[in-house]
């Protein structure tokens, strides 16, 4: 018994070492990058997907016109819950709402969202790692330092996801990304609907991200996968993917409406007080 | 029989403990070194990003990293939005590494508008012609070691 206590750190260290070397050798083919063919790619595909933050899309919408970001702010109250899956979705939602508040340059909204971030982090047991970022958001809001707030929202989300992944809660980390993506996409569809153009609508061409979320949900543990809200998201994403796959010649107004409705309906479930 | 076995174990236990602890220390040190060099690789990627930040690029906090066999190509798929300009920064903490990076669109055509390599990092810029999925293909060649730590970050404006 005592002996195993001494062996365990060695095993843990070995696993850590193996885990830190995710890429192993694969036979090199004869085709080079110049003749690029992904089906005959002679190297290794990195599976990790980085989900863009909403402000990446918002910045394009700003270049294409002047959206009324204040009208996009929802200012909805965050329900109290002990359900960690829902808390993770809410966390992603709240950070994405923060990016909308930055676009709107609404100091009070940013501060309210900063407080929501602190509250959600406490409920998730992650306040220690989140508090410095949340405080930085509140301080930067006072100064109207929008670029700094944007950076802190991005860092907050990364910190929370990294902490969850370190605690082996990969499913919760994915829920943070999902909540954020749904809120960001709902904003994009709302702006595009108000001033439709092919260029704006094209921003919804994100099938790789939707497929990534669908795959991530299918790999979640049963308890998370069977969560009512996650099941609804899985179903909703299938419908969104259908719209994206069908937009070969560009997105129609109807397709944008449909994606927006799906996102809004899923966000209602995330924000429901139950 | 049981007694002799227990005695045998108890006699060897101090050595077993020592060996297990030593192994743990060596492995932890190795793991720490690998993690440290991966983090240092990100530091070099951020060094590559510095002049871009001065030009208004917003650096994403998320990044990809790992260790790869020298000369082995890696491919990452990533969502880009038409209307933004993107910059990708590849860094390594290892000396004497040759870096290469190219970006391809959905039709597998190269799309980067410029690429620049330095001692520990390289950067590539792209103005995506369409919103969609792009492939970032890169490799790191070292004559000194079989494994090369790397980090790839990106920014937009």
CB B73 within 8 A of CB A33: yes
- Measured distance CA(B68)–CA(A207) in Å, rounded: 28
Which residue on chain B is closest to A43 by alpha carbon? Answer: B73
- Measured distance CA(B56)–CA(A142) in Å, rounded: 23
Angle (nearest 5°) at CA B134 between B131 and B137? 160
Residues of A with Cβ-Cβ distance to B58 under 8 angstroms: 55, 59, 147, 150-151
Query: Smallest CA–CA separation between B138 and chain A, in Å?
Result: 9
Please tell me the predicted confidence (pLDDT) of residue A51.
98
Angle (nearest 5°) at CA A47 between B58 and A240? 75
Residue A218 or residue A274, greater confidence: A218
Please tell me the predicted confidence (pLDDT) of residue A274.
73
Judged by CB atoms closer than 8 Å, whether chains meet at B23 and A13 is answered as: yes
- Measured distance CA(A100)–CA(B84) in Å, rounded: 18
Residue A23 or residue A84, greater confidence: A84
Judged by CB atoms closer than 8 Å, whether chains meet at A46 and B31 is answered as: no
Judged by CB atoms closer than 8 Å, whether chains meet at A203 and B13 is answered as: no
Neighbours of A24 (CB within 10 A): 11
Please tell me the predicted confidence (pLDDT) of residue B22.
62
DSSP string, A85-150: HHHHHHHHHHHHHHHHHHHHT-HHHHHHHHHHHHHHHHHHT-HHHHHHHHHHHHHHHHHT-HHHHH
Please tell me the predicted confidence (pLDDT) of residue B7.
35
- Measured distance CA(A268)–CA(A228) in Å, rounded: 13
Extract the tokens encoding A22: 């995710």
Please report the number of interchain residue pairs, chain A to chain B, with beta-carbon separation below 8 angstroms.
165
Query: Smallest CA–CA separation between B38 and chain A, in Å?
Result: 9
- Measured distance CA(A113)–CA(A97) in Å, rounded: 7
| CATH fold of the domain at B41-156 | Jelly Rolls (2.60.120)
The pLDDT of residue A163 is above 70 = yes
CB B151 within 8 A of CB B45: yes
In a domain, A2, yes or no: no
Angle between helices A54-64 and A170-194 (to 10 degrees): 10
In a domain, A18, yes or no: no
Average pLDDT, chain A: 89
Which residue on chain B is closest to A53 by alpha carbon? Answer: B60
Angle (nearest 5°) at CA B16 between B14 and B18? 70
In a domain, A31, yes or no: no
Judged by CB atoms closer than 8 Å, whether chains meet at B76 and A38 is answered as: no
Which of B157, B83, B89 minimizes the C-alpha distance to B121? Answer: B89
Task: State how far the alpha carbon of B67 is from the alpha carbons of A56, B15, B34, B39, B118, in Å.
Answer: 28, 34, 8, 11, 19
Please tell me the predicted confidence (pLDDT) of residue B30.
52
Residue A255 belongs to what domain range?
A: 55-271
Here the ipTM equals: 0.85
Confidence class for position A115, pLDDT limits 50, 70, 90? very high
- Measured distance CA(A137)–CA(A140) in Å, rounded: 5
- Mean pLDDT of the A27-51 span: 71
Residues of A with Cβ-Cβ distance to B135 under 8 angstroms: 36, 38
CB-nearest partner of B83 from A63, A151, A157: A63
In a domain, A156, yes or no: yes
In a domain, A218, yes or no: yes
Judged by CB atoms closer than 8 Å, whether chains meet at A10 and B68 is answered as: no
Extract the tokens encoding A10: 């060695």
In a domain, A46, yes or no: no
Residues of B with Cβ-Cβ distance to A24 under 8 angstroms: 69
Residues of A with Cβ-Cβ distance to B79 under 8 angstroms: 51-52, 206, 208-209
Residues of B with Cβ-Cβ distance to A157 under 8 angstroms: 61
Q: What is the pLDDT tens value at each position of chain B, 157 positions in all?
A: 333 333 333 334 444 555 655 666 555 555 545 555 668 999 999 999 999 999 999 999 999 999 999 999 999 999 999 999 999 999 999 999 999 999 999 999 999 888 899 999 999 999 999 999 999 999 999 999 999 999 999 999 9
φ/ψ bin of A251: left (φ > 0), alpha (ψ from -120 to 50), beta (otherwise): beta
In a domain, A45, yes or no: no
What is the end-to-end Cα distance of chain B in Å, rounded?
75
In a domain, A33, yes or no: no
Neighbours of A18 (CB within 10 A): 11
Q: Where are the domains of chain B?
A: 41-156
Pairing status of strand A44-46 against strand B74-80: parallel
Residue A221 or residue B13, greater confidence: A221
Q: How many domains does chain A have?
A: 1
Please tell me the predicted confidence (pLDDT) of residue A70.
97
**A96-108 pLDDT tens trace:** 999 999 999 999 9
């Amino acid at each position: 018994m005592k002996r195993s206590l001494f062996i365990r750190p060695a095993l843990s260290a070995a696993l850590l070492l193996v885990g830190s070397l995710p890429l192993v050798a694969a036979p090199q083919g004869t085709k080079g990058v110049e003749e690029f063919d992904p089906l005959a790619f002679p190297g290794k595909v990195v599976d990790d997907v980085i989900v863009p933050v909403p402000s990446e899309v918002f910045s394009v919408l700003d270049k294409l016109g002047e959206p009324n970001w204040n009208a996009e702010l929802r200012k909805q109250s965050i329900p109290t819950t002990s359900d960690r899956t829902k808390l993770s979705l809410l966390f992603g939602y709240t950070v994405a709402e923060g990016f909308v508040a930055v676009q709107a340059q609404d100091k009070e909204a940013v501060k309210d969202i900063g407080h929501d971030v602190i509250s959600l982090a406490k409920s998730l047991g992650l306040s220690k790692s989140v508090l410095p970022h949340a405080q930085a958001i509140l301080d930067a809001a006072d100064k109207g330092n929008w670029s700094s707030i944007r950076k802190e929202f991005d860092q907050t989300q990364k910190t929370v996801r990294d902490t969850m992944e370190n605690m082996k809660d990969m499913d919760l980390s994915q829920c943070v990304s999902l909540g954020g993506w749904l809120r960001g996409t709902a904003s994009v569809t709302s702006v595009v609907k108000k001033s439709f153009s092919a260029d704006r609508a094209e921003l919804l061409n994100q099938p790789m991200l939707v497929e990534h979320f669908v795959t991530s949900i299918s790999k979640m543990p049963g308890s998370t996968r069977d969560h009512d809200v996650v099941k609804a998201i899985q179903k909703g994403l299938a419908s969104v993917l259908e719209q994206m796959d069908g937009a070969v010649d560009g997105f129609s107004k109807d397709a944008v409406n449909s994606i927006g409705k799906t996102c809004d309906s899923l966000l209602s479930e995330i924000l429901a007080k139950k | 029989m049981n007694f002799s076995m227990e005695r045998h174990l108890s006699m060897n236990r101090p050595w077993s403990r020592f060996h297990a602890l030593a192994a743990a220390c060596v492995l932890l040190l190795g793991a720490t070194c690998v993690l440290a060099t991966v983090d240092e690789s990100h530091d070099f990627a951020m060094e590559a990003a510095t002049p871009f930040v001065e030009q208004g690029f917003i650096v994403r906090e998320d990044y990809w990293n790992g260790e790869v066999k020298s000369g082995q190509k890696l491919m990452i798929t990533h969502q880009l939005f038409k209307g933004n300009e993107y910059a990708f920064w590849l860094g390594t903490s290892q000396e004497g590494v040759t870096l290469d990076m190219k970006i391809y669109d959905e039709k597998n055509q190269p799309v980067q508008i410029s690429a620049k390599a330095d001692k520990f990092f390289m950067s590539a810029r792209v103005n995506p012609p369409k919103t969609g999925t792009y492939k970032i293909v890169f490799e790191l060649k070292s004559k000194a070691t079989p494994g090369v730590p790397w980090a790839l970050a990106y920014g937009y404006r």
